[in-house]
Structure 1
């Protein structure tokens, strides 16, 4: 099944106004996002990119690399789709998403809900999602903790007489 190619018209205004816009000029090896009105740009590099104006879906296929500097996110996958109406990105095929600071996710499919800043990861069949999170620990105490007062161990305790009534 062939995916229809992008029709080149001058009615691409919606593509440049959305928060995560992707320029689809096939001659450029690196498609840099174009935004207006406070949108946050995203850069998508792939072997092929297509857009469907009717559905509002932008698809990047083959060796996909995504950079989203505003949220310090980088990702790689076999395919990525941006759904304008749902404000989400779905990455499929050997997905790796990393965020500044060391947090990352590896899965077969990752759905990124842009407005919620939330990832939903799904593994391959009979596999698991792998994630690494960097957790900041509170400062370690400078003094050792105070040990509770415990009487010393006596191997031969004193015998107590039972209380009788």
Structure 2
């Protein structure tokens, strides 16, 4: 029994739904790279990178081969780079539209009072993909103190 096309597409996009995987694909756009070079740039634990590379390989987005002692990875098709470029264009459009909407909101008079609000609408911060160095690259949010002063523990 074959999988419907929409289901296969959903699986493809789920595979792309991890910052480390996206970063690997971005780095491989310039050509094949050994794992050690990917590790140097991405700054994640070797086991984490290995796991993410395995997911990309199973999905057919990357291929691997040995070049002497090195394990090399490359994009399986130039279409992967095209998909990343399309994602970047979409993000540019979406974020531009949000900025325009925020500018309009800041400049528009309040319908209730007819005046422009004295307090500006705060800008929306867009987190960087990958997070700051040393966080494992997963863009994890820092823990915040609970109301009783003790740190919260996600999932508990």
Q: TM-score, normalised by structure 2?
A: 0.19
> Of Structure 1 and Structure 2, which has the larger fraction of its residues in helix?
2
Q: TM-score, normalised by structure 1?
A: 0.18
> Of Structure 1 and Structure 2, which has the larger fraction of its residues in strand?
1
* Structure exhibiting the larger radius of gyration computed from Cα positions: 1
* Structure with higher RCO (Cα < 8 A, 6+ apart): 2
